Structure 1
Amino acid sequence: MAHLLGGEKLRLEFPTRVIFDGVTVGLNEGDRVGVVGKNGDGKSTLLRLLAGRIEPDGGRVTRRRGVDIGMLDQSDTVDQTLTVAQAVVGGIDEHVWAGDAQARDVIGGLLGDVPWDAVVGTLSGGQRRRVGLAALLVADHDVIFLDEPTNHLDVEGIAWLAGHLRKRWAQNSGGLIVVTHDRWFLDEVCNYTWEVHDQIIEPFEGGYAAYILQRVERDRMSAASEAKRQNLMRKELAWLRRGAPARTAKPKFRIDAANELIENEPPPRDTVELKQMATSRLGKDVVDILDASVVYDGRTILKDIEWRIAPGERTGVLGVNGAGKSTLLGLVTGTVRPTSGKVKRGTTVRIASLTQELAELKDVQHERVSTIIGRQRSSYVAGGKELTPGQLLERLGFTSAQLATPIKDLSGGQKRRLQLLLILLDEPNVLILDEPTNDLDTDMLAAIEDLLDSWPGTLLVVSHDRYLIERVTDQQYAVMDGHFRHLPRGVEQYLELRRGVTDASADAARKPAASGAAAASGGSSTPGKPALGGADKRNAEKELSSLDRRLKKYQGEIAAAHEKLAVHDQSDYAGLGAITGELQKLESTVADLEVRWLEVSELLEG
């Protein structure tokens, strides 16, 4: 595959520390790279280096001649004096851009609720961000860099963006580098993962699930001091393997390796034990919302809602912006009164909310972390173990040095974690999380999820982070058209329902005359991926099964060759060379088979 761009022996130093030292990376045609790592380790800086927005202190960035790079940085803003139309398509006539399928797809996917003639300066921050993303995606770039593109997108918008990026370029063409904490998005879009840590960039094949598997295997070989992080990653991997079937779309030998690794790993949560503990703390009654409706200024927000929240219930709430999710949570907390119907709360219920505003920290921002923690309880029980507040802080990624730091000087992610800790130390028995993933990297999200696994109360989560919703809750509901609807099949069912609503709206607005060509196409197969017929599909399935068997066989032979190499006389250079040559042939064969496995898989998915 042709090289697009890269960095060679990059070094970048800020006044207080070194960000990168001797880093070499490359992006080839067809690469879709997700960048992960702790906040502050240099993920966004890497994008700016490769895009040419900043220059390295050492090394060089190379780009193939003629490569067009488009980038959306977190700090990028759109000229607020322009209209939405001017910002997205410039001065191009409507009949020109409306004839471009890609432009129509982007505008429909991102700006459906944004007035086309509105001035950008009058829009909300989230809408302005989407206008900037749309302007980037409408253009025809060879390489796209995206820094946290899923911020300000709901579940439906994130699913659209993933689909758009998957089909934007033909196979083995174009390039993408994306920094995001959305782990579902990483799995859907990326075929490589770069982990930024300790002034280096470590590459992994595959999306987030494959990255976790490889990282766990790496950590298993590390020193004993890494045992704590290894156990957390093993638990994360256990969740990945028990998650949605789509995450297991990888060669069978990799699945077998994951199964072997986690065969003795318990489920992320002991649901029965947690519900017993929650009942003992809460009693049988938590919150019952009975036939409740809420009307504002003559507009019905919620209609005839019935929701009986149980002790230990873990529920995720989905819905588009403005659907009424916050109003529903207001009924639970008591900040909203129903226009009709009633809300009953148990006498022992103590509700706490992790909001987006960090309200708990406003009055204490000039105090040190240690001072605030010292006012709280002396211990907290998590997972059957008693922990001190300091141990909890360590579990959430704080160092001992940060205990003396004033709260106002903490990063956004550190403030978010401290906010959660203060809430947990107050021992509520009903916890509401409202978009809790803001400002957190993937490692910290995993740590918080691990902490929530042992929290024995009722958990209600509102989030656009699909991975988090599926990870920490046991059931999902949607607020749609004022009603509260159970989703037995989870987030995927919600997206199907939303697509139905969108398609119905489009059909109503569309002119009656149907395109004969569209009708003749007979469906909505992905462009460039013709659906397989009966015989072809069976043949492809047989070939895929055969590839699985052959890959497993060759993996066994590779393992045997490594063992032979380890025990062979190290002074017998000729013998060592022969074994090494045999090993290289086996690895080359496996690489070819993996490529073919992916090709056949894509045919079947099409």
Structure 2
Amino acid sequence: MAVLISVERAALALGTTQVLDGVSLGVAGGDRIGVVGRNGGGKTTLLRVLAGDRSVDSGRVARLGGATVGMLSQADTLDPEVTVREVVVGDRPDHVWAGDARIRDVLTGLLGGIDAPAMGGLDATVAGKSGGERRRLALAKLLVDDPDVLLLDEPTNHLDVEGVAWLAEHLVRHRSRPDNALVTITHDRWFLDAVATRTWEVVDGEVNAFDGGYAAYVLAKAERERMARVTAERRNNLLRKELAWLRRGAPARTSKPKFRIEAANALIEDVPPPRNDVELMAFATSRLGKDVVDLHDASVVVGESAGEPGRTLLDRVTWHLAPGERIGVVGVNGSGKSTLLRVLAGEVPLSSGKRKEGVTVRIGHLTQEVRELDRLRDRRVIDAVEEVRKVTVLGGREVSASQLAKRLGFPGPRQQTRVGDLSGGERRRLQVLRILMDEPNVLLLDEPTNDLDIETLTALEDVLDGWAGTLVVVSHDRYLLERIADRQVALLGDGRVRDLPGGVEEYLRLRATTTPAYAASAPPAVAPGSKGGAKSVGAQRHTDSGGSTAAATPTASPAEQREARKTMARVEKQLSRLATREERIHADMAEHVSDHARVLELNTELRAIVDEREALELEWLEAAEVVS
């Protein structure tokens, strides 16, 4: 594949921070690269260097002649006076862009349809659009322009679950050609797994490259540490816990199975499950009793006025929150997810129906607003936490405010920082800290992943693993929902709360079958013809899911199944040999780390192994489908 952008020994300092320190890397045709790292670690700066928007202090950045580069930044640069049509399709004649299936797909996936109904029509002006709508317009423009190298800085911000699913499917479909490439910064681990064929980790001025998406990145990073013979204490860190979740938890996040099971088992054989659900449930029941929060025929109507009926967000919802339940909430934008949390918290009066709260309930509610910290802007971080409480109990152990702050990304020196000087992600962390220190036994989290990097998300999940109580979390982050919630429910905009026995996949199927605009562009996550089986929350407790069916798959003959098992056994042996070769190459790379030419040669061998392994995995998958 042609190298579209190459970076050689690039160095760049911002103030006293060395953001890039002798970095060499390349973006080749067909690459889909995910960029991860701590907030403030240099991810966006790296993208700006690749785009040519920022020069380096030393080194060289070269681009293939004629290659076009487009970047989605987090800054809003749209002219408020122009129309949606001018932003997205420019001066292309209607018959040109309307006849292009790729452009129609973008309009449907991001703007609601070819006439952009979600934006008020193609002739509506940008002025008055919300930040999320302007972000969608900027992304749509970039996807329509289709540059050779597409650089995306947090593209899933302001997208709901189905928007993220559509974007992942679109990028995989259109960014796999040998003449184009994708580099994206994202904290959405599901999106990273669905899209990326390589992962770059930006840390301490270096860019470490890994093959595969998030799951493969976690495994490869753990293997590197194992081969470096890290200490037992370091092997018991959050990385191993996250690996245990990937191995034992929800189904694989990608369509390709991971065959490095022997190495993974060696790492996690002594690792307990992420949380002890039985123990936490017993503890939660003792703290909460039988009653938590009950809604009976609860309705919420907003915008009522003389002659105007208003809009119904909740329509006669009956819901019994049990002690120790961990529930994830998904739904379309504007369907009332935040309102539902506020109703559960008792912050929104009901238009009709009843809300009952247990006498021992203590609610902690994380909203999407960070202005509540404004009054603390002149206080130090540790003072803002200790104002709530100096010591709390987590996972059956006493934890000081300083210890919990450190676990959530505030090391000793950072705890002395003024609240007013914190970044958006750090303010979000501080909000969570203060809520946890208040020792709630019912925790309501509204989009807790906003502005948080992957490392902080992992730390937050680790803290919540040891938290005993009832948890309800609203999020578009599928990975987080699967990781910390045992059950998912959905709001589809009809005022009902539906149970999702099949999780987020069932939600996407429901949206595909009920929304024509989405159905036209939805990824084929479930066999065509599936019927939604979700019921209202109250009814689902007493009935089954109601007959979710998929298209029938012809049963293979016994001879075909025997042949498929032979194929699987042969492929597994070949994969085992590839794993041994790959391990030797990693060892050689570590031994010749100072020999740049030798490392490049070994890296070429490694890429060939990865390609061969992917082909074998696909062969194994085809055989496995016959056996199953």
Category of TM-score, reference length = shorter chain: 0.7 to 0.9
Determine if contact 1:37/1:196 at 8 Å carries over to the other structure: yes
Unaligned runs of 5+ in 1: 508-521, 525-530, 567-582
Query: Where does residue 324 of structure 2 map in the other structure?
Result: 312
Deviations 1:506-532 (A, max 9, x none): 79xxxxxxxxxxxxxx989xxxxxx99
**Cα distance between partner residues in 2 of 1:286 and 1:87:** 49
Query: CA separation in 1, counterparts of 2:342 and 2:455?
Result: 31
What is the DSSP-based 3-state SS (H/G/I as helix, E as strand, rest coil) of the residue aligned with 1:22?
Answer: strand
Query: Are 1:416 and 2:428 matched, yes or no?
Result: yes
- Matches of residues 339-354 of structure 1 in structure 2 within 5 Å? 339-354=351-366
Distance 1:495 1:6, change over 3 A: same
Q: Quickly say closer, same or farther: Cα 1:33–1:585, change in 2 above 3 A.
A: closer
Q: Counterpart in 1 of 2:523?
A: none
Residue of 386, 389, 393 corresponding to 1:377: 389
- Pairwise CA distance, 1:478: 0.4
Q: The residue matched to 1:494 in structure 2 has which SS?
A: helix
Q: 1:552 aligns with which of 550, 565, 576?
A: 576
Aligned counterpart, 2:615: 596
Deviation sequence 1:506-562 (CA, Å, 0-9, x none): 79xxxxxxxxxxxxxx989xxxxxx99989x98888655522221214545777999
Instruction: Please tell me whether the aligned partners of residues 11 and 21 of structure 2 are also in contact (alpha carbons under 8 angstroms).
Output: yes
State the Cα deviation string for residues 249-279 of structure 1 (Å, max 9, x = none): 4465313322332222211111111111111
Q: Which moved more, 1:190-199 or 1:93-102?
A: 93-102
Question: Partners in 2 of 1:246 and 1:99 — Cα distance?
Answer: 37
SS in 1 for 2:260: helix
Structure 1 residues 377 and 222: alpha-carbon distance in aligned structure 2, compared to 1, 3 A threshold: farther
Task: Quickly say closer, same or farther: Cα 1:599–1:349, change in 2 above 3 A.
Answer: closer
- Give the C-alpha shift of residue 384 in structure 1: 2.4
The question of whether the paired residues in 1 share the 8 Å contact of 2:201 and 2:209 is answered with yes
Q: Kindly indicate whether the alpha-carbon contact (under 8 Å) linking 1:319 and 1:478 is maintained by their aligned counterparts in 2.
A: yes
Name the residue aligned to 1:100.
Answer: 100
**Contact persistence 2:193–2:214 (CA under 8 A):** yes
2:382·2:401 contact (CA, 8 Å) conserved in 1?
A: no
Is 1:547–1:593's contact at 8 Å kept on the other side of the alignment? no
Q: From the superposition, tell whether residues 12 and 295 of structure 1 become closer, same or farther in structure 2 (CA, over 3 Å).
A: same
Aligned position for 2:477:
465
2: CA distance, partners of 1:147 / 1:204: 19
* CA deviation map 1:357-381 (0-9, x unaligned): 1244121111112322333323222
Is 1:144 matched up with 2:150? yes
Identify unmatched segments of 5+ residues in structure 2. 113-117, 521-526, 530-552, 591-601
User: Structure 1 residue 289 and structure 2 residue 295: aligned?
Assistant: yes
Superposed displacement of residue 504, structure 1: 8.0
AA partner of residue 315 (structure 1): I
Preserved contact between residue 97 and residue 103 of structure 1 (Cα < 8 Å) = yes
1:276-301 CA distance string (max 9 Å, x none): 11111111100011121222322322
- 2:445: which partner in 1? 433
> In structure 2, the residue corresponding to 1:238 is in which secondary structure?
helix
Which one-letter code corresponds to 2:462 in the other structure?
Answer: D
Whole-Å Cα distance in 2 between the matches of residues 212 and 247 of structure 1? Answer: 13
In structure 1, C-alpha distance between the alignment counterparts of 2:418 and 2:582, rounded to whole Å: 54
Task: For 1:156 and 1:227, locate their aligned partners in 2 and report how far apart those are by CA, in whole Å.
Answer: 40
**TM-score normalised by length of structure 1:** 0.87
| Equivalent runs, 1:535-574 vs 2, <5 Å | 543=567, 545-556=569-580
Matched-pair contact (CA < 8 Å) for 1:395–1:447:
yes
Which AA in structure 1 matches 2:101? Answer: A
Evaluate the alpha carbon distance shift between residue 604 and residue 353 of structure 1 in structure 2; reply closer, same or farther with a 3 A threshold: farther
Residue 9 of structure 1 corresponds to which residue in structure 2?
A: 9
Q: Percent identity?
A: 53
For the 8 Å contact 1:9–1:59, the answer to whether it is kept is yes
C-alpha contact 2:377 2:420 (8 A) present in aligned 1 = yes
Alignment CA distance shift 1:367-1:244 (3 Å): same
Contact persistence 1:379–1:386 (CA under 8 A): yes
SS at match of 1:331: helix
Contact 1:77–1:129 (8 Å) recurs in 2: no
- Where 1:367 maps in the other structure, the secondary structure is coil
* 1:492 pairs with 2:505: yes
Aligned to 1:120: 126
1:35 aligns with 2:5: no
Cα contact 2:5–2:64 (8 A) shared by 1: yes
Aligned residue pairs total 569
The 5 Å alignment of 1:235-246 reads: 235-246=241-252
Match of 1:511 in 2: none
Deviation sequence 1:408-453 (CA, Å, 0-9, x none): 0011111111111111111111111101111111000000110011
RMSD: 3.2
Candidates 196, 207, 219, aligned match of 1:190: 196
1:503 pairs with 509, 516, 535, which one?
A: 516
CA distance in 2, matches of 1:533, 1:96: 46
Summarize deviations over 1:146-193 as a string: whole Å, max 9, x none.
000000000010000000001014454421000000000000000100
Asked whether 1:178 is paired with 2:184, we answer: yes
Give the aligned residue type for 1:317.
V
- The question of whether the paired residues in 2 share the 8 Å contact of 1:82 and 1:120 is answered with yes
Question: Counterparts of 1:586 and 1:60 in 2: how far apart (Å)?
Answer: 26
Secondary structure in 2 aligned to 1:349?
A: coil
TM-score, reference length from structure 2: 0.84
Describe the shift of the 1:605–1:14 C-alpha distance in structure 2 as closer, same or farther (beyond 3 A): farther
Conservation of the 8 A alpha-carbon contact between 1:10 and 1:59 = yes
Maintained 8 Å contact 1:313/1:457? yes
User: Cα distance 1:256–1:56, how it changes in 2: closer, same or farther (>3 A)?
Assistant: same
> For the residues of structure 2 that align with 1:467 and 1:498, how far apart are their CA atoms?
19
1:69 aligns with 2:69: yes
Q: Give the equivalent residue in structure 1 for 2:545.
A: none
Counterpart code for 2:369? E
Going from structure 1 to structure 2, the CA distance change for 1:168 and 1:562 (only over 3 Å counts) comes to closer
2:549: which partner in 1?
none
Taking a change above 3 Å as real, the CA distance of residues 389 and 229 of structure 1, as seen in their structure-2 partners, is: farther
Question: Which deviations, in whole Å up to 9, do the C-alpha atoms of 1:552-583 show, x marking residues without a partner?
Answer: 1454577799999x9xxxxxxxxxxxxxxxx9
SS in 2 for 1:59: strand
Q: Distance in 2 between matches of 1:560 and 1:25?
A: 23
Preserved contact between residue 220 and residue 230 of structure 1 (Cα < 8 Å) = no
Q: What is the rounded CA distance, in whole Å, between the counterparts of 2:168 and 2:131 in structure 1? A: 22
